[in-house]
Structure 1
Amino acid sequence: MNDLSDYSQQLSLLIDAVGEDPFPGQLVGTLRSLVDIDDATVIFYPERDYPVVEHFEVPEPSQNSTLSQFVLGPFLLDPFYVAATELRFGLFRLRELAPTGFKDSEYYKNWYRNCGYQDECGYVISLGDNAFLNIALGKTGTRASFSAKQVKTLADVLPVIETLCQSHWGTASVANKAGSIDLRAQLHKALQHFGETLLTDREAQVINLVLHGHSTKTVAEKLSISIETVKLHRKHAYAKLEVSSQAELFYLFLDSLMSAKDYAGGDTLVAYMQPPQ
C-alpha cells in the first residue's frame, strides 16, 4: 500500500476530472495509489443499452477481442453483472459472487482465463434507474491474489468512489433513457428463452443454470431435484441441441445470440437453425 499523500493527490485529480474524459483512467489511478493492481477495466451499464467499456488496459479491445465480444452478450453471465441485476451493490471478490463450479464453466474459461486474472475484486455501483458501473480490478501474476488488508482498503474508500462515479456517470445514465430500445431487456429475454422450443421446461432450466456456471450439485439444489436427474436432463438437452459438451453449448448460445437480427422475443435458436434462404 502506498502512503496517504499519494492517495490524496490522486483523489484531488479525480475530483477535478468529474464530467471529463480522463475520469475513468484517473479513477483506476486513484485506486492504484492504494492497492497494487495488475489490470483494471471500467464498464458502464446504461439502463437500456449495451455496456460501454470506459477504461481498459492490455490487450486493447479490437474487433475480435474478448472485450468486444463480451459487451455484445456474454456479460449476461458475468457474476458481477448478475449481482447488479439482483440489486447487490458494493465491493465484492469474484469468489463471493461466483456459483460453485464456476471455474469449470465455459464462461470462466473464455473470459477470465483469457484476461489472465488469478483473482478479482470488483465494485458494483448503482447509478440509478437500473444503470450501474462495474470497476473490475485484477491480479494476473502466478498465484497472485488480493490480501484481506487490500480488500479492506478498497472497501473503506467505497463511499467516496461511489459518490464520484455517480456524479460522473449520472448524466449519461439519464440521457440514455429517452426513447431508446431496451436492448438489455431483449438480451435477458433471449437468455431466458434459449432452447425452449427444443427442450422441456425442466431441461431449459437446467441448461440456463449450466450456462451461468452452476455445478451439477448446485443445479440440483436450486431445482430441488436429484443430481442424477440433473445429469439426465442435461444429457437429453445436449442431444436435442446437438452439442456434446458445455463448451459447445456455450458457443451455441453465443452464436445464436450474436446472429439474432431485430430480435422481438422467443428462442434465438428458431432463426439460427433455419436453413439459409
Structure 2
Amino acid sequence: MSAYPLKAANYFMSLLAEYNLALSTVIKTCNSQGFPTAIATLLRTLVESNDITLIIYRDTAMPQIEFFMSPEGESNLDMFRSGVFLIDPYYLAAAKDNKSGFFALKELTPKGFKNSEYYKTWYRHSGLHDECGYLIPIDDGFINLSVGRTDSYPKFNKALLSFLAEIEPTISALCQRHYNNTKPATSATDDDRLPKQLQTALDNFGSTVLTDREQQVVNMLMHGHSTKSIAEILCISTETVKLHRKKSYAKLDINSQSELFYLFIDSLMSVKGYKSGDTLSSYL
C-alpha cells in the first residue's frame, strides 16, 4: 500500500472529526444566540473561506445581518441594507423567483455581470473574488448564507461546489430549525421600509416620467442586465435599447447607470412611509 492513500485517508478522517465536532456545536446552539457563529464555523471546517455572511430576510423587516466575517473586519453592509440588496442576485432569486437551494453566483447573474449596477455599486468594493451560497426558506421569509473568497484564495472549483451542494439539506434543516423557532417578538411598524415595499418601489420607479418601454429598460438595467441581454429578452435591437436608455437618462437628468441607481435610492429615502407608486412622482 502506497503512502499517498494512507495520507488521504488520514486527512479525511481528521476532516470528519472536525466536521462532527462543529456539527454537534451547531445542534447544541439551535435556538440560542450562538447559532450564527456555529453554522459559519461548520462551513469553514469544510471549505476554506475568508468571507461568510448570514442574512435573514423576514417578510416584515429589513434585512438583518446575523453573521458577518471578512478579512478586513469591516464592510459596507449598511449600504447594502439601505437598498442595494434589492438588486442582489441571491435576493432576486429568492424573493422574485422563489428559488431555494445552493447556488454559485454565476448561476444567478445575467450576462455582463461586471457591467451591472450591482457589481459597480457593491460587489467590486466588497473584496469578493468568488461567491456561492444557500437560499433557505423559513416560515416568514428566507435566509441567504453566503460563502465567499477574496483575491487571496482561488475561485471555487466544480468539486467543491458539488460538495457544498450535497450538504444543502443538512444546512437548510439546521437553519430552519433555528430561525422558525426564534421569530421576532414584535412586528414591524408603519414607518419601517419593508422589503416588499422597496421591491414595489423599484418595480414602479420612473413609471410617471418614462414611457412603458423606457421604464422597462431602466428597470432591467438596475437589475443587472446588459444592453445585449435586454435586447435579447425584449426581442429588440441593441441600438433600440441604447436609444431608450438615452431618452430615459435625459428625462431623469442623469448621465450614467450609477447615477440612475442613486437617483432611485435618493427618491425612495425622500418619501416618508412609502406604500406604493413611483417615488419620482413627488421628487422631480
The answer to whether TM tops 0.5 is yes
Partner of 2:180 in structure 1? 170
Q: Are residues 184 and 176 of structure 1, via their aligned partners in 2, closer, same or farther at CA, if it must alter by over 3 Å?
A: farther
Kindly report structure 1 stretches of 4+ aligned residues shifted beyond 4 Å.
Answer: 173-182
Counterpart-to-counterpart distance in 1, 2:114 and 2:259: 17
Q: Which has the larger radius of gyration?
A: 2
Decide whether the 8 Å contact of 1:48 with 1:176 is kept in 2. no
User: Would you say 1:205 and 2:216 are equivalent positions?
Assistant: yes
Match 2:89 to one of 79, 92, 110: 79
- Give the root-mean-square deviation of aligned CA atoms: 2.0
Match 1:140 to one of 125, 128, 150: 150
- Once the two structures are TM-superposed, the CA of residue 182 in structure 1 deviates from its matched residue by 8.0
Q: Are residues 118 and 267 of structure 1, via their aligned partners in 2, closer, same or farther at CA, if it must alter by over 3 Å?
A: same
Deviations 1:187-220 (A, max 9, x none): 1110011011110010000000000110111111
Match 2:268 to one of 239, 257, 264: 257
Within a 5 Å distance, the mapping from 1:1-277 to structure 2 comes to 3-58=15-70, 59=72, 66-85=76-95, 86-129=97-140, 131-142=141-152, 144-173=154-183, 183-273=194-284
Q: Are residues 215 and 143 of structure 1, via their aligned partners in 2, closer, same or farther at CA, if it must alter by over 3 Å?
A: farther
When the two structures are superposed, what TM-score results if normalisation uses the length of structure 1? Answer: 0.91
Deviations 1:32-90 (A, max 9, x none): 111101111100000222110000123556xxx52112112211101001110211111
Decide whether the 8 Å contact of 1:41 with 1:55 is kept in 2. yes
Flag structure 2 segments of 5+ consecutive residues without an equivalent: 1-11
What one-letter code is carried by the residue in structure 2 that aligns with 1:108?
Y
Q: How many residues align?
A: 269
What one-letter code is carried by the residue in structure 1 that aligns with 2:246?
K
Decide whether the 8 Å contact of 2:102 with 2:164 is kept in 1. yes
Counterpart-to-counterpart distance in 1, 2:184 and 2:65: 18
Counterpart-to-counterpart distance in 2, 1:153 and 1:87: 23
Choose 231-240 or 220-229, whichever is displaced more. 220-229
Decide whether the 8 Å contact of 2:197 with 2:276 is kept in 1. yes
- Once the two structures are TM-superposed, the CA of residue 107 in structure 1 deviates from its matched residue by 1.5
Flag structure 1 segments of 5+ consecutive residues without an equivalent: none
What one-letter code is carried by the residue in structure 2 that aligns with 1:219?
I
Choose 31-40 or 167-176, whichever is displaced more. 167-176
When the two structures are superposed, what TM-score results if normalisation uses the length of structure 2? Answer: 0.89
Q: Are residues 149 and 241 of structure 1, via their aligned partners in 2, closer, same or farther at CA, if it must alter by over 3 Å?
A: same
